[in-house]
Structure 1
Amino acid sequence: MQPMLRLIRLRLADFRSWSSLDAGFDAAIVAIAGENGVGKTNLLEAISLIGPGRGLRGARMGELGRRVDGAARPWAAAGRFDTPAGAFDLGTGSHPEGTSDRRVFRLDGQPLRTQSELADRVAAVWLTPQMDRLFQEGASGRRRFLDRLAWALEPTHAREVAAHDNAMSQRNRLLAQGRGDARWLAGLEDAMARHAVAATAARRALALRLNAVMASGAATGVFPAARMELVCPIAAALAGQPALAVEDALRVALAADRRRDAAAGGAARGAHRADMTLVHVPKDQVAEICSTGEQKALLISTVLAHAALIAEARGFAPLLLLDEVAAHLDTARREALFAALAALPAQVFLTGTETEVFRPLRGIADIVVARPGILLPAGETGSP
């Protein structure tokens, strides 16, 4: 099955290690091989930035431009996408006059005002080697992973999270300054409660729908069935009460917490306190106590199921960006992964250090080799 959304051309200018690039892609699976340090992950990061959010590294603007004589240059990344409704061009980068720390976006050459407009067009989900530590580190990384999945299902989710965090920051500032304007604080707490419940409802809806897909096993192949569980008092409340009742209770609790939150320097309740875990269903074991290999398999199951879910729900699957995902899989699991990817209605970009790893994909994927500043078809590099 051909993917419903395909990146068919990627252009870069002064992005990370790439001074320039103009590459076309024809296949549903693109495998990029190359030695460490040649810029493979940078390519995936560029693709991840042609959409909402801060990309797979969560980098700041000043970190993205290619450095020349110690200074970062203005950068740009643009993609042409093909869909059943026709092709379109999306681009992002630093302000051409260097007057802003915010990224600029263009759709078919016209400025976009919000990232929500991007989310209507494209979505991307990724796995990177850094995510191998997802279940050993703090909740913030798991929450970002959860929100990326939710954004692809509900484009307005990013706006709800941002609105909650903005209201919370203003409330924190007022409390820290000892400014006790009750009406002002009440207004901010009302915004926090509304947006926290909306954001949590989107997270909960994602988990319920994703779990149904993973339970069926249709999209995950031989990878173990996983179940996503939210660790969140607001989500627990939504399971048994109407959203308006949960909003009211949160609003009251925030007002009661003002003195405590002022002393602590932040809100003890809200959407920013959510966490999640995955359960290895066959072993009935949470990911935190699974082996590293099992955790990787659970994440792969989740991403495969998510791609299938989004394809059904939104009419296009997210781009899958899998950085060195096959490195720690045995031969059987690696070939099973490739078979599952080939069956998905999604375009996939894979990286690895050796072309040999991608041998089972020959005839299915575009296999290219990355060398400093250039991408070459594997057959033109002397690779076997």
Structure 2
Amino acid sequence: MHVTHLSLADFRSYARVEVPLDPGVTAFVGENGQGKTNLVEAVGYLATLSSHRVASDAPLVRMGAERAVIRAAVTQGDRSQLIELELNPGKANRARINRSSQVRPRDVLGIVRTVLFAPEDLALVKGDPGERRRFLDELITARSPRMAGVRSDYDRVLKQRNTLLKSAAMARRHGGRAGAPPGTKSAGADLSTLDVWDQHLARTGAELLAQRMDLIAVLQPLADKAYEQLAPGGGPVALEYRCSAPGGAQDRQGLYGQLLEALAEVRKQEIERGVTLVGPHRDDLLLKLGQLPAKGYASHGECWSYALALRLASYDLLRAEGNEPVLVLDDVFAELDARRRERLAESVAQGEQVLVTAAVGDDVPGVLAGARYAVENGSVVRV
């Protein structure tokens, strides 16, 4: 699979830009702040409906514009598709596939798959658990686009359950009435639906947990192999899932019961604090290097190698499952020493499509020779 044409309108720094793309390696070269990363960020957004740089869509819309449009022609085998996303901050985004407007944004998931390396990847190892949960969930969705719906359902249930718990906590602090005007429900009445929300949360949570655990099982040997490629003799690496709902269940039904039991055990604390304390949103992925956690013990170079190994493992997994992703290397080589730079480049040079950004052309290893664009002040010119 590869992108054959990228078109942007009012996206980041670009009022409008058209970029034809070929299979193989394409490098975007230009000084910092000229818009290189904006191009590959747009490709990544098509794959995940999110940016690897910011948490909301508002910064993606060019200053002074109301909306941004990302449009891409994509080829897989002998099949071509045109996908379009319209970003409307504060409103619902819109999507089109082959010019049909009767699709939801998440319906485009799976048409473009990407694996993206970026300086921000260091947070996979050094950052908070949310970074690692996002890594798992985006890869799960890349493998099975239907999981976007499961994740959305889980987030919706979690939000509504937290609203109920917060209301109950306030009511308890104000004598059962939350200090609201007459007609406000009592805490007891509010909590009468909590059992139902527990079941919804456990059902969608069990599906998400099962997918995460399956992913870790297949990713583990690939990550260990990738780390050995990047830092020979420096491993082994181990991925351990830390579940906030204790128990050893692995299948969906067992995980459902495990979550329900955990929710029942912490209900009193949840009502007191007004927040859901167990579930996939509270879990973590422990990354071990040798016998120790990488976070807090690994050197800076080891953390970089670990983060790169996770991305390489993701790339190898998606390739093995039959739909090769677009590989994006966003300003990565400048962050690496010469040894890691060459080993990473050698590992990905044969990818169907590799998009590279660099401030200096010499930062791109020779093994990644291919098309090159000069990016300067909103202009993207093939050289």
- The TM-score by the shorter chain falls in which range? 0.7 to 0.9
TM-score, scaled to structure 2: 0.86
SS of alignment partner, residue 134 of structure 1 = helix
CA distance in 2, matches of 1:354, 1:296: 21
* Structure-2 change in CA distance of 1:63 and 1:7 (3 Å): same
Aligned partner of 2:242 in structure 1 is 231
Q: Deviations over 1:331-384 (max 9, x none)?
A: 23212211111134x42222111001125046x42222211111123xx4xxxx
Equivalent residue for 2:77, pick from 61, 65, 84 = 84
Which residue identity lines up with residue 68 of structure 2 in the other structure? W
Aligned partner of 1:253 in structure 2 is 262
How many residues align? The count is 360
SS of alignment partner, residue 106 of structure 1 = strand
**Offset, 1:35:** 0.4
CA distance in 2, matches of 1:20, 1:192: 43
> Is 1:270 matched up with 2:246?
no
**Offset, 1:322:** 2.1
Equivalent residue for 2:45, pick from 46, 49, 53 = 49
CA distance in 1, matches of 2:32, 2:312: 26
SS of alignment partner, residue 36 of structure 1 = coil
> Is 1:73 matched up with 2:66?
yes
The equivalences for 1:319-334 within 5 A come to: 319-334=326-341
Q: Deviations over 1:147-201 (max 9, x none)?
A: 1122112222222222122112111111222244455221211010011111011
CA distance in 1, matches of 2:223, 2:125: 19
The equivalences for 1:59-70 within 5 A come to: 59-67=55-63
Aligned partner of 1:208 in structure 2 is 217
**Offset, 1:19:** 1.1
Q: Deviations over 1:84-138 (max 9, x none)?
A: 141111111235xx8x622211111112533442223222232322232333332
- Is the 2:288–2:294 contact (alpha carbons within 8 Å) kept by the matching residues of 1? yes
Aligned partner of 2:202 in structure 1 is 193
- Is the 1:6–1:347 contact (alpha carbons within 8 Å) kept by the matching residues of 2? yes
- Is the 2:70–2:86 contact (alpha carbons within 8 Å) kept by the matching residues of 1? yes
CA distance in 1, matches of 2:128, 2:104: 29
CA distance in 2, matches of 1:220, 1:8: 34
**Offset, 1:266:** 0.9
- Residue identity over aligned pairs, in percent, reads 26
CA distance in 1, matches of 2:314, 2:307: 10
Aligned partner of 1:290 in structure 2 is 298
CA distance in 2, matches of 1:203, 1:185: 26
**Offset, 1:15:** 0.6
> Is 1:302 matched up with 2:310?
yes
- C-alpha RMSD of the superposition: 2.3
Aligned partner of 2:354 in structure 1 is 348
CA distance in 2, matches of 1:26, 1:223: 32
Equivalent residue for 1:121, pick from 111, 126, 137 = 111
- Is the 1:167–1:191 contact (alpha carbons within 8 Å) kept by the matching residues of 2? yes
* Structure-2 change in CA distance of 1:332 and 1:238 (3 Å): same
> Is 1:139 matched up with 2:129?
yes
Aligned partner of 2:172 in structure 1 is none
- Is the 2:3–2:75 contact (alpha carbons within 8 Å) kept by the matching residues of 1? yes
* Structure-2 change in CA distance of 1:277 and 1:350 (3 Å): farther
Which residue identity lines up with residue 73 of structure 1 in the other structure? E
SS of alignment partner, residue 372 of structure 2 = strand
Which residue identity lines up with residue 258 of structure 1 in the other structure? R
Aligned partner of 1:37 in structure 2 is 33
- The unaligned stretches of length 5 or more in structure 1 are none
- Is the 1:319–1:348 contact (alpha carbons within 8 Å) kept by the matching residues of 2? yes
**Offset, 1:263:** 1.9
CA distance in 2, matches of 1:236, 1:220: 32
Equivalent residue for 1:165, pick from 155, 159, 166 = 155
**Offset, 1:207:** 0.8
**Offset, 1:265:** 2.4
- Is the 1:105–1:111 contact (alpha carbons within 8 Å) kept by the matching residues of 2? yes
Which residue identity lines up with residue 261 of structure 1 in the other structure? E
* Structure-2 change in CA distance of 1:306 and 1:359 (3 Å): closer
> Is 1:94 matched up with 2:87?
yes
- Is the 1:61–1:102 contact (alpha carbons within 8 Å) kept by the matching residues of 2? no
CA distance in 2, matches of 1:133, 1:215: 19
**Offset, 1:51:** 2.8
* Structure-2 change in CA distance of 1:307 and 1:236 (3 Å): farther
- Is the 1:204–1:235 contact (alpha carbons within 8 Å) kept by the matching residues of 2? no
Which residue identity lines up with residue 238 of structure 1 in the other structure? A
**Offset, 1:229:** 2.1
